[in-house]
Chains A and B, each alone.
Chain A
Amino acid sequence: SLPLIAPKVELKKRPPVIKVPLNIPDKELALLGKEGIPEGRSRRGPLALDLQSMKAIQEYFQKLGRAPNDIELESLAQTWSEHCKHTIFADPIDDAPKGLYKTYIKEATNLIRKKKGKRDFCISVFSDNSGGIIFDDEYMITHKVETHNSPSALDPFGGAITGIVGVNRDALGFGLGAKPVANAFGFCFGEPDDARPIYRGKDKKTAMFPPRRIMEGVIRGINSGGNCSGIPTLSGFVRYDDRFKGKPLVFAGTVGLIPRKIRGKPSHEKSAKPGDYVVMLGGRVGADGIHGATFSSVAMDSSSPATAVQIGDPITQKKLSDAIVREARGAGLYSSITDNGAGGLSCSVAEMAKESGGARVDLEKVPLKYPNLEPWQIWISESQERMTLSVPKKNWKEFNALMRSRGVEATVIGVFTGSGRMAVRWKGKTIMDMPLEFLHNGLPKHRLEGSPHTYWHEEPALPKGTNRTKELEKLLANNNVAGFSFISDQYDYEVQGGSVLKPLSGPGRINTDAQVFSPVLNSKKGVVLSTGVYPSYSDISTYAMAAAAIDTAVRNAVAAGAPLSHLAILDNFCWCSSYDKVRLFELHEALKACYKYAVGYGTPFISGKDSMWNDFRGYDEEGKPIKISIPPTLLISAIGVAPDVSRTVSPEFKNAGDLIYILGETNDELGASEYAKMLAGKTGAIGNRVPKVNLARNLHTYRALESAMKDGLVASAISVSSGGLGAALAKAAIGGMLGAEISLKNLPGNASTVDAKLFSESQGRVVLSIAPKHERAFRKIIGKNPFAKLGRVIGGSKFEIRDKNQKVVGTNVGKLCSAYHSFSKKMR
């Protein structure tokens, strides 16, 4: 048994504040910006400030005629970090002087909202920790998706659990505090069977975790974070690619619910007032999560500090969450609230100081996990489960008493002012005093430039003959198409009692592309969640990649019964080598697609986040230097409101005798498809004809589908995405454990080969099953949109697809089912 001795952390005492001289040569200035403040023979860790930014700081302090204190430099580094300021999206680029975010994302949303006029359902977008839209007359729903890639590479469990509890705080930090009602996850991992080691250090030092180990840790982290907090983990996806071996992508999202009015005032409006106390609520501060914001703003290498990863404790946060959402919020005890995430107090207090016009903090008052943390560490530490609130003096006694009685620690650490400055004191001595103007807007703009680039790949060598049974079964077992019940099963998606369309659907338990839940138990309204992501399309075109992500997220939601008229989307860009001109060009292309398709579908962006440095620099198994960069990846998450959950539809076939229809065109678009990648293997012959999105046509098709569902004509609807028509038909059959007889004879579109017909990932397509008695009404609604009757659902287990009177697939549902679930079985 364990000895009854609690481990004690002892940090050695050092001078609280040191001056950092900036009148040094540019070379040293650049090094200071890259690797951080010197300390003994090493350095404190990345400031992630380039020379231009360092010079701006140098100039500022030259004017003051003094050298900055370490805390001032660290504080600027946090606030100016790519992670916090999203400089690449803010800086002027090519022909977009206002920058990518303003020109494409914000502008798209503004335009959509203007067009919608009275039907605009956005309430609070971009300005807060989450985006908020109308749920009904009484409630608003919020959504936010974060990434936690770098931490998850170094500490998979810790990185993932802080990812999920961290984004929970983006719900709590929305307006006056929204209750988290659903979690979403998205994973991009290296191949789980890849055992070739890679190292961060020379001479095979500091090995990275292998993909399987990262995967298992991340899955457990989301499990622990979500389950312990009593928040259903409903929505999720997982993708695999060699290039996620150096840095996995770990997306974590949270949907929140909040009354539109609290105490008669709009709940999304909040403002710290001069004179309000600066209150830190929840966990204590330790050395965990130092430089999290800055190290995730650079490539991962031997200098990446594992101490940058925080350690999460869901229960501490659950207590805080209940006390805020159930009690303090309704009692009106605080005037503003925000989350302590990246940059810790240095960012949360400085953000709220914008509302009041200034703030002063006495750092020695901050409760610590253990003694002897230096002021700069306390100021930027990303220790978890903390919110920062502004509490009017008159409410402090009551607020503090309430928190104590709920086992939550609340501490006054300063006061909001109107001074226009961010001041920090240590035992009475001022150690930082900076105008908010310079802190928030002093960051020099960089001029970004992309240089156009196109890729060319060999076309995949198609199999001989016309029978594709083996190929279909192999594709269903492919980890980018197969089911992942081994993940879904261990996440609690039933807590809070709202789940309707669950992560696994039908007798065959197929993973759903969209999920439906009712956050207000006595309302028939439902929230619909879905995602779209195609990392490998970037190997051909990031424009196509982004267009397909949006079209798929929208299509998945509509196929489950979400109305286009009440559907919003979120963007998460995960890029690599982001100052590389080709990568910048590709980024710009992706954003052009975002603008076009968001505006086209009338689906506003309500929130977003980016992670621009998903590169790994290290050494391979022979100790040779390598760089692994992820394929540029855009995750689009959609959130919509279904007026009546009883009108939503699940993807699996329901009944023998039902007719199977396809909506949309199937074209020769095998480029970068799962099928092409499967055929290509390591040759890289993935082709070039990547799916293109026909906006006008898809829009009509989706609207028609929407009204067919409204009339209750659709028995099942499955969106055609990765794996193409073949996979979609197979999944619908597996889900319903019913057979199917299919003919590709009248398939709309220009697909010529049987391979393209079965496996092309042409966008805009949905496979439906309908009761024969509904056929006439259905055809009438579909009208001139491209569609075809493919065949019918049959009892028994036969699964057969014919093309030009030849059997191209002949198997049974049992075989398909075990192929589809084989990957999960291996991973359990």
Chain B
Amino acid sequence: MRTAIKKPKVIVMSGYGLNCEEETKFAFDRAGGAADIVHINDLIKNPKMLAKYKILAFPGGFAYGDDTGSGKAYANKFKNHLGKELEKFLKRNTLIIGICNGFQIITNLGIVPGGLTFNKGGKYLDRWVDLEAVGESPWLRGIKKISIPIAHGEGRYIIGEGYERLIQEKAVAFKYTKGRICKFQNLEKNPNGSEHDIAGVLGYRGRVLGMMPHPERGMFFRQRPDYYKEKELRTREGKILPEEADGFQIFKNGIKYFQ
């Protein structure tokens, strides 16, 4: 019972076309948190609810079909109804993560720098990428290089003049790099033409993380594109296959921050 009480509470937003909330909740729960999926309208009806949470997660999806620009409509709804609560939440020692569409939402909320636009190829793209963690953040503890998937049409990160400041504040979280997966499948490192190869950024001294790639889709070893090769070769060497994969560390870090 006591352990149950200790579990940091996570609120995973849903509604209007967000669609990664279930696997995002699964990741936080598995990492030792207690996550609730909450529809934005329920939070608007009862804004005080936010006070009992330590982590706020905006999962991936297609909020409002991206029809008015990715993440815009959902961010405006959140700002208009929950602006004050969000400020209060950020004043406390809390964490926020925005993944893919969630990243697009929190850039529109203005709590992480920069913005996102259409991939250089102009097409929606689903593939795996390699990331190098460069920023300072509770989310990134112990992470150097990780490989997880992207799936987006508007993932090209734009910062322009702001880059200098990003560097000073160590606010770049992840850069696309040529690592294990790019070598394995002979892919270019930066899939969408993001400026300075930026895949994720930080706000509020690293407490807010926004990233295009999906750590919750890289939680398990079996999800990796090189799973079958690794499985075969490692089993031959009598090794036991790890169950978890890179992406999971991010959720563990979020939970560990409060324990």
Contacts and interface: CB of A to CB of B under 8 A. Distances in A.
A501 B228 CA distance: 8
Contact of B16 (A315, A521, A655, A771): A315
A489 B127 contact: yes
B117 interface: no
Contact of A407 (B15, B60, B123, B149): B15
A353 interface: no
B258 to A, nearest CB: 23
Contact of B19 (A229, A489, A501, A736): A229
A487 to B, nearest CB: 11
Contact of B217 (A406, A497, A715): A497
Contact of A518 (B22, B222, B229, B241): B222
A493 B14 CA distance: 21
Given A315-B17, A490-B125, A494-B151, A654 B229 contact: yes
B219 A507 contact: no
Interface string A218-233: 0000010001111000
Contact of A496 (B17, B23, B30, B39): B23
B126 A405 contact: no
Interface stretch (B50-58, B61-69, B158-166, B249-257): B61-69
A552 to B, nearest CB: 22
B94 interface: no
Interface stretch (B79-87, B106-114, B230-238): B230-238
Interface in A208-260: 223, 227-230
Contacts of A227: 62, 124, 151
Nearest to B231: A646
A314 to B, nearest CB: 7
Contacts of B126: 488-494
Interface in A47-66: none
Contact of A497 (B216, B229, B231): B216
A197 interface: no
Given A314-B65, A489-B126, A406 B229 contact: no
A228 B23 contact: no
Given A315-B65, A492-B126, A495-B217, A500 B232 contact: no
Interface string A287-315: 00000000000000000000000000111
A509 interface: yes
A436 to B, nearest CB: 38
Contacts of A771: 236
B251 to A, nearest CB: 12
B222 A494 contact: no
A198 B195 CA distance: 46
A502 interface: yes
A492 B151 CA distance: 6
Interface of B: 14-17, 19-20, 22-23, 26, 30, 37, 39, 41-42, 45, 60-62, 64-65, 67, 123-127, 149, 151, 184-186, 214, 216-217, 219-220, 222-223, 225, 227-229, 231-233, 235-236, 241
The 10 A-B pairs of least Cβ separation, nearest first, read A230-B19, A650-B228, A497-B23, A492-B151, A315-B65, A228-B62, A315-B17, A494-B217, A654-B232, A490-B124
Interface of A: 223, 227-230, 313-315, 318-319, 322, 326, 405-407, 488-497, 499-502, 505-507, 509, 518, 521-522, 645-646, 649-650, 652, 654-655, 712, 715-716, 736, 771, 773
27 contacts: A227-B62, A227-B151, A314-B65, A315-B16, A315-B17, A318-B17, A318-B62, A406-B39, A407-B15, A488-B126, A490-B123, A491-B124, A492-B124, A492-B126, A494-B223, A495-B19, A499-B223, A500-B222, A505-B225, A507-B184, A507-B186, A521-B23, A522-B30, A646-B231, A654-B233, A716-B232, A771-B236
